[in-house]
Every structure is written in structure tokens, then in C-alpha cells.
Chains A and B, each alone.
Chain A
């Protein structure tokens, strides 16, 4: 193919299916300890080798805490579970690599969905689940809707790193508990 496929989503539309993909992955992980943080980032989209204004690539990263990142459950079992799960869903596995390092073994698993959304489970220093949109048309930040994070990250908390899209602040959901974030008040707990 010579031309990129027409993006299925705008940037603003991409977050919902991407977050759903992350939530779907979390749902199959046994004894899930919770993510520590969520990060919304972007990359320049390119065409013919040149960065294209008006397009972007959304990358959502969920990061396990450092202690959890090092457990066999998170580094190995989850990778096996996700490989099986994504394969069963018909996703194309494009990378399944193991890299031996002096002090640890890194693992990397990448699956691409039919709609172009990519899922990357990377057990490195930290272990992360990353979801990438592929090229999408860029949206004004005003048009981007806040979506609460999955995997136990407290919405709007210190580790919900989406602030640049919501400079006015994020409505926190009091029902969601972030195991890594201090509550605003300990009053009810005492």
C-alpha cells in the first residue's frame, strides 16, 4: 500500500476505544495489583517521511509500580495471559521478544487490532501497558473528553497524568481508589 489508511478516529475519538482496550487487557489479568500511573502522550504523525501538521499519534501508557514491575506475575504471567488473550481476539502479534540483560530479563509483546490500535506490553525497568492509536487527525484539546483511567489509577490524582489536556482541572471520582495515591483527606479513615 502506498498511502496510509484513512484514520478511523479523530484524536478526540481515539481515547475511548484505546482506554477500553487497556481496560479489556486489565480485566483478564489475575490478581491484578493495580497500575501506579497513567500518562497520555502524543507523537508526531508522518507522511512520506515528514511530520504532518494536523495529524498526531496518541500513546496511552499505564505503568506498574516499581516493586510490582519486578514480580514474575507482572513480568511473565501477564505477558503470557495477554499473548493468549490478544491472539484469541484475532489481534496480530507483531513482536514477541525476550532480551537478556545482566540484571534482568526484558520482555516485549505487541499486538495490533484490526482498527489499527496497537497494544504494547513491555516489561523493562518498569513494566507498562501501552496503547497507541496510529495516525489520527489532531483535535483541539477542548474537544478531548476526560476518561477516567483503568486499573486503579485515581482519576485526577497525582498519577493521572493527563493534565495538559485539562488545564482547568479534572473532576475526580470519589468512588475510585488509587492504591498509590494519598487521599485528599484521611478524615473518614480515622
Chain B
């Protein structure tokens, strides 16, 4: 576990970590020259068939070839993907947070605050000096400026009295600012610890189940080499399974490197034979995931049909008045519900002939890509309209309370609207919009949406999803994460605790994003956007539940206007309706890099 303190992070030589990563890359090239030499100078050269010819000679050449193959795989899988990439990713992540610290710590010091507490949860408090200054009616200038009072000059004049009577505000303001810095510091350290732990895990997992080496020439070689060759054929499948299980420790970028390192035949075989290990994995390209997920979706629907038929058969033999019957009936209804939900999703994204459907929107029409689904909890559905791997702009919509697979149709309608608006606003760019129901959303406003656990439960998955988009997409793609309602809380928690790969964050109808300051989100404050309409009861959410209103001035970032519908007292979800063209236009502009 990372136990880095903020001072450690501040002083860390990230350049040295990056240099080591680069050194590994150079080393890999050096080693590849060795394997190249083995092939050209030995196998095809001095040990070629014109100099050395027999069954044994063939065996020896094979052995040298296997040795070179193995080493090249090791260089790719371990030295490059694991070690070098881990170092480079860690250097980038540490440096990003270090730069935040370089901005934050001087602010804390300038305001005479102290950093206290353990590295796992720092507090930023008023220093003794600042306490005294406020109590002795000698507040610092910055505090007077924030409170809009003139700094007292030591005499009992009107300003002094004003400060005296406003002393609570002075304290409140100072404590509020300290709280914002505390949120910021905690977020920086949380992301740094997360990056550190992930980097360590990627390296540690490397030697958990290493690939076998070819056997040495010698006794029982023939048997051993057969076993080895058999193992090699299963190696890719084993790796894919570990990646899908989440036990590989690979980041989405590393998964992408692994995938790109496979041969076309190996990729095809995985999609055909183990689509369940391909479809849900962040870092595997969208086309492959879509193909695999659609296969699994077909398979799951067929499997549910079989189970439903069997359960219906079993039900017939039971007494309808019995508990056993009621339980079986309930289970059967659950299966039917799952089946309907999956079939509904399939129908929505698939033509009658089984080909992927195009979303109906402005030209060029974009196909649906299925990036994930499931029936666990209230269900999952991750669907992209347009290919995020090739798009200039990608906007991911995270829905809020009551989002579920049964209602995925409505979520997709919203995503289609956003996609359509983006395309109309920016016809010269390619755009993709993703509906990300990749988490178990709260079912109720009270009490579930008041709890943080749903957001915390989603954080790592959202982090990985956004990192996967970065890994498979173009380098210059403009990524936006848009949350609605509790979906904004999900984004906020992911951004502050784990970090998200996004250029813009948009909070629509937010009850709070788990922090009181945009600075804590790890995204340039200028690219943090929030909107609430005046008839949205989300205004009533107290700050202590999920943090401050992100549209507030104190939060930082930008607020943008959303209109209300005249008739609807509760405008919490009308942000995409005909009553809010202003908001839709702004969102389209943000998502297409026009703001």
C-alpha cells in the first residue's frame, strides 16, 4: 500500500522514473537485436540447413526459434507492457498530482493554514497564528477581501466593529477555504496513492503466474517440449481470462498494448471462443468489444430462454398455493424480466438481420456499439453511438438515481439526443456519445441517493472506462464526462478518488460531487461545467450530503444556464427537453470543444 506523504510526492523525482521507463524501452530494442541476430546469423546462417541438416538439427533450430519467440514475448509482455509502461504511466500520474501540489501547497501556506493528520486523510486547518489574528481583530488582508471588509487599523473604528460583529463570518470563510484546500489535497493524494498502488500491482502480478520457458536440451526434452508447446497455445487464453477477471493488474493502456501485441489470428480466436473475456474489457478496441458483446448477448438470451422453459416446466408440477410455487414463480418472473431487458437492448441496437443498427440522427449516421451489459443488480448497459476510438469528440453520459437496464431505452434516447445535438453543432468533426450505465445506481432518492456508496462502488469502473477510451482512442480526442443527477456524484467521486481521463466534466442537476471545489477534480477548472435550472428540487440537497453545489461561485469551474418548463414544478430531468434548448446548445458546444 502506498504510504506516500504529500511531502514525499512534492519532492519525488518523476523525471527519474520516466527516464527509467525510457531506459527499459531502449533495453528492449537492444534485446530484440539479439533475437534478430539469433534468427539471421544462427538459424538461417551458420546453423542453416546447408551446414547442419538432420532431425536433430531441425529440433535444435526449433529450440533456438522457440527461445527467441519466448524472449520476444517476454520483452513485450513483461519488459515493455508491464515494466516500462508502468513506469511511464506512474511518472505521468505522479507528475500530474505533483503539479497540483505545487499549486496547492503555496496557497495553503500563504493563507496561514496547516496541513495535519495522517497521509491517508489530511486535514487543512487554520494555524494558531491565523486563529489569533482573527480573535484579536487583526485578520489578514486576504480574509478581509474575501469577507468584503476593510482591514481594521487597530482603533475601535467602524471597520473594527464591523469585523468584531462579523467574526463568525471571518471564521466561517477561513474554515470554508481551508475545507476546499483540504478536499483538493485529499483528492491529489488519493489519486497519487491510487496510481502508486496500481503501478505496484501491475509489477507484482507480473511474477504471480509467469509463462513457462522452453525446456533445456537434455533428458526428457521431447516430452517437455511437447508440454511447453501445448502451454504456449493456451497462454493467450490464460492471459485474457486473467485480464477479464481483473487479476492481471494491467491498466487499460497495458491491456491495449497486450491486445495490439496479439496476432490477428489470436484476436479472432479470442473473440470467437471467449467473447466473455473480450467484451467487457477496457483497453480492448471498440469494434472487438462490440462484436464479442453482441455474441454474448445472443448467447445470454438463448440461455435465459432455456432456463425459462425449464422453470415453466418445473412450475407445472407444483401446488400453486405452496411457498415453493411462489418462490419458483418469483424466480421465473425475474428470469423473464432479465430476458425482456436484454432482448430490449438487443432490439434497440440490432437490425432484424442481426447487423448493428445505425442510430437515427443527422448524417453521417452512426452505428451503436455495445461496450458492456449485464443483468446483475438493476442491470448494466454501456452503449456508444458512434465509434469512440475514431471520434474527435467523445461524450460519456452517466445517469443517476433509478437508472436501470429496463430503462436503458430512455437513457439511450438521451444519448442519441446529445449525439444529434453534437453532430448538428459540429458537423465537421466526428462525434460519439456513450450511455454509461456501468454501475449499480441508487433505486431511491431517499435513502439510497443520499448515500455515497453507490458512487464509491462505481469509481474504479468509471476510471478504467475513461482510461480505456484514452487507450483505444486517438491521442487528440476531446473527452467529456457528463453526469446527470447522482451520475454527477459518481463522476465526482471517481475524479477525486481514482482520477478520470477526461478533458471536460459536466454536472447536470447535481446534488453535489463529493467535493466543495472544482480544483479537487483533477481536470482543469476552466473545463468543469455545471448547470441547475431554477425549478430543480436538487437545490434542496444540503451540502453535507454530497458536497457543495457545483454551480455555486465558491465551487469554481463554470456554471451555465438551463431553462425550465413552465408547467413542471419538478424540472430535475427536463434538461434535454424542448424547454431547455439553451442548455442543450451549451452541452453540445462543450462536448464538441467549442466552449
Binding site for B on A (CB under 8 A): 1-5, 36-37, 39-44, 46-51, 53, 56-57, 59, 61, 63, 66, 69, 94-95, 97, 99, 101, 106, 108, 110, 112, 118, 120, 122, 124-126, 128, 130, 132, 134, 159, 161-164, 167
B501 proximal to A (CB < 8 A):
no
From known contacts A59-B578, A110-B581, A122-B581, infer whether A39 and B407 are also in contact, taking CB-CB under 8 Å. no
Contact A49 B427 (CB under 8 A): no
Contact A43 B413 (CB under 8 A): yes
Q: Closest chain A residue to B424 by CB distance?
A: A126
Task: Tell me the bound Cα distance from A173 to B273 in angstroms.
Answer: 48
Contact A118 B360 (CB under 8 A): no
Contact B425 A4 (CB under 8 A): no
In the complex, how many angstroms separate the beta carbon of A109 from the nearest chain B beta carbon?
9
In the complex, how many angstroms separate the beta carbon of A34 from the nearest chain B beta carbon?
15
B594 proximal to A (CB < 8 A):
yes
In the assembled complex, which residues on chain B have CB atoms less than 8 Å from the CB atom of A50? Answer: 401-402, 573
From known contacts A43-B417, A124-B424, A126-B362, infer whether A118 and B578 are also in contact, taking CB-CB under 8 Å. yes
Contact A125 B426 (CB under 8 A): yes
Chain A, interface SS category: strand
In the complex, how many angstroms separate the beta carbon of A33 from the nearest chain B beta carbon?
17
Contact A43 B414 (CB under 8 A): yes
Contact A49 B572 (CB under 8 A): yes
Contact A51 B573 (CB under 8 A): yes
A-B CB proximity, top 6 nearest: A49-B572, A44-B410, A132-B578, A118-B578, A46-B573, A125-B427
Point out the residue from A49, A124, A130, A134 that lies within 8 Å of B425, measured CB to CB: A124
Contact A49 B578 (CB under 8 A): no
Task: Tell me the bound Cα distance from A3 to B569 in angstroms.
Answer: 7
In the assembled complex, which residues on chain A have CB atoms less than 8 Å from the CB atom of B410? Answer: 43-44, 51
Contact A43 B570 (CB under 8 A): no
Residues 551-595 of chain B, each 1 if its beta carbon lies under 8 Å from chain A, else 0:
000000000000100111111111011110110010010000010
From known contacts A57-B578, A122-B424, infer whether A39 and B362 are also in contact, taking CB-CB under 8 Å. yes
Q: A44-B413, A49-B537 are in contact. List 19 more A-B contacts (CB 8 A).
A: A1-B567, A1-B569, A39-B360, A39-B420, A44-B409, A44-B410, A44-B573, A47-B570, A49-B573, A50-B573, A51-B407, A57-B578, A59-B578, A63-B363, A95-B563, A101-B594, A118-B578, A161-B365, A167-B352
In the assembled complex, which residues on chain B have CB atoms less than 8 Å from the CB atom of A69? Answer: 427
Q: Tell me which residues from 406 to 453 in chain B have a Cβ below 8 Å from any Cβ of chain A.
A: 406-407, 409-411, 413-414, 416-417, 420, 423-428, 445
Contact B581 A108 (CB under 8 A): yes
From known contacts A1-B569, A44-B413, A46-B573, infer whether A134 and B362 are also in contact, taking CB-CB under 8 Å. no
Which has the most chain A C-beta neighbours within 10 Å: B352, B570, B572, B588? B570
Task: Tell me the bound Cα distance from A188 to B566 in angstroms.
Answer: 53
B48 proximal to A (CB < 8 A):
no
Return 10 A-B CB contacts under 8 Å, by A number. Answer: A3-B569, A41-B417, A46-B572, A46-B574, A49-B485, A50-B402, A110-B578, A124-B424, A125-B427, A128-B424
In the complex, how many angstroms separate the beta carbon of A180 from the nearest chain B beta carbon?
10
In the assembled complex, which residues on chain B have CB atoms less than 8 Å from the CB atom of A37? Answer: 362-363
In the assembled complex, which residues on chain B have CB atoms less than 8 Å from the CB atom of A124? Answer: 424-425, 585, 588
B361 proximal to A (CB < 8 A):
yes
Contact B577 A57 (CB under 8 A): yes
Point out the residue from A2, A40, A42, A53 that lies within 8 Å of B407, measured CB to CB: A53
Contact A41 B428 (CB under 8 A): no
Task: Tell me the bound Cα distance from A106 to B365 in angstroms.
Answer: 23
In the assembled complex, which residues on chain B have CB atoms less than 8 Å from the CB atom of A164? Answer: 357, 360
Place the interface of chain B in its size category: 35 or more
Contact A41 B413 (CB under 8 A): yes
In the complex, how many angstroms separate the beta carbon of B400 from the nearest chain A beta carbon?
9
Q: Closest chain B residue to A5 by CB distance?
A: B567
Contact B416 A41 (CB under 8 A): yes
Task: Tell me the bound Cα distance from A110 to B537 in angstroms.
Answer: 25
Point out the residue from B357, B362, B572, B578 that lies within 8 Å of A120, measured CB to CB: B578
Contact B585 A99 (CB under 8 A): yes
In the complex, how many angstroms separate the beta carbon of B392 from the nearest chain A beta carbon?
13
In the assembled complex, which residues on chain A have CB atoms less than 8 Å from the CB atom of B588? Answer: 124
Q: Closest chain A residue to B361 by CB distance?
A: A39
In the assembled complex, which residues on chain B have CB atoms less than 8 Å from the CB atom of A47? Answer: 570
In the complex, how many angstroms separate the beta carbon of A47 from the nearest chain B beta carbon?
7
Task: Tell me the bound Cα distance from A108 to B573 in angstroms.
Answer: 22
Contact B425 A51 (CB under 8 A): no
Task: Tell me the bound Cα distance from A48 to B585 in angstroms.
Answer: 24
In the complex, how many angstroms separate the beta carbon of B592 from the nearest chain A beta carbon?
8
Task: Tell me the bound Cα distance from A106 to B589 in angstroms.
Answer: 11
In the assembled complex, which residues on chain B have CB atoms less than 8 Å from the CB atom of A97? Answer: 582, 585
Point out the residue from B360, B485, B572, B582 that lies within 8 Å of A41, measured CB to CB: B360
In the assembled complex, which residues on chain B have CB atoms less than 8 Å from the CB atom of A42? Answer: 413
Task: Tell me the bound Cα distance from A164 to B538 in angstroms.
Answer: 35
Q: Closest chain A residue to B592 by CB distance?
A: A125
Task: Tell me the bound Cα distance from A94 to B582 in angstroms.
Answer: 10
In the assembled complex, which residues on chain B have CB atoms less than 8 Å from the CB atom of A39? Answer: 360-362, 420
Task: Tell me the bound Cα distance from A40 to B352 in angstroms.
Answer: 19
Task: Tell me the bound Cα distance from A1 to B423 in angstroms.
Answer: 35
In the assembled complex, which residues on chain B have CB atoms less than 8 Å from the CB atom of A130? Answer: 578
Task: Tell me the bound Cα distance from A50 to B579 in angstroms.
Answer: 16
Residues 502-540 of chain B, each 1 if its beta carbon lies under 8 Å from chain A, else 0:
000000010000000000000000000000000011100
In the complex, how many angstroms separate the beta carbon of B545 from the nearest chain A beta carbon?
16
In the assembled complex, which residues on chain A have CB atoms less than 8 Å from the CB atom of B352? Answer: 167
Task: Tell me the bound Cα distance from A42 to B365 in angstroms.
Answer: 16
Task: Tell me the bound Cα distance from A48 to B509 in angstroms.
Answer: 13
Task: Tell me the bound Cα distance from A106 to B585 in angstroms.
Answer: 10
Contact B428 A95 (CB under 8 A): no
Task: Tell me the bound Cα distance from A156 to B259 in angstroms.
Answer: 42
Contact A48 B570 (CB under 8 A): yes
Point out the residue from B357, B409, B570, B582 that lies within 8 Å of A49, measured CB to CB: B570
In the assembled complex, which residues on chain A have CB atoms less than 8 Å from the CB atom of B576? Answer: 43
Task: Tell me the bound Cα distance from A106 to B582 in angstroms.
Answer: 12
Task: Tell me the bound Cα distance from A57 to B410 in angstroms.
Answer: 10
Point out the residue from B414, B426, B445 that lies within 8 Å of A44, measured CB to CB: B414
From known contacts A2-B569, A125-B426, A167-B352, infer whether A132 and B360 are also in contact, taking CB-CB under 8 Å. no
In the assembled complex, which residues on chain A have CB atoms less than 8 Å from the CB atom of B567? Answer: 1, 4-5
Contact B585 A40 (CB under 8 A): no
Task: Tell me the bound Cα distance from A161 to B361 in angstroms.
Answer: 7
Q: Closest chain B residue to A99 by CB distance?
A: B585
In the assembled complex, which residues on chain B have CB atoms less than 8 Å from the CB atom of A99? Answer: 585
Task: Tell me the bound Cα distance from A159 to B352 in angstroms.
Answer: 20
Task: Tell me the bound Cα distance from A108 to B424 in angstroms.
Answer: 13
Contact B578 A125 (CB under 8 A): no
In the assembled complex, which residues on chain A have CB atoms less than 8 Å from the CB atom of B509? Answer: 49
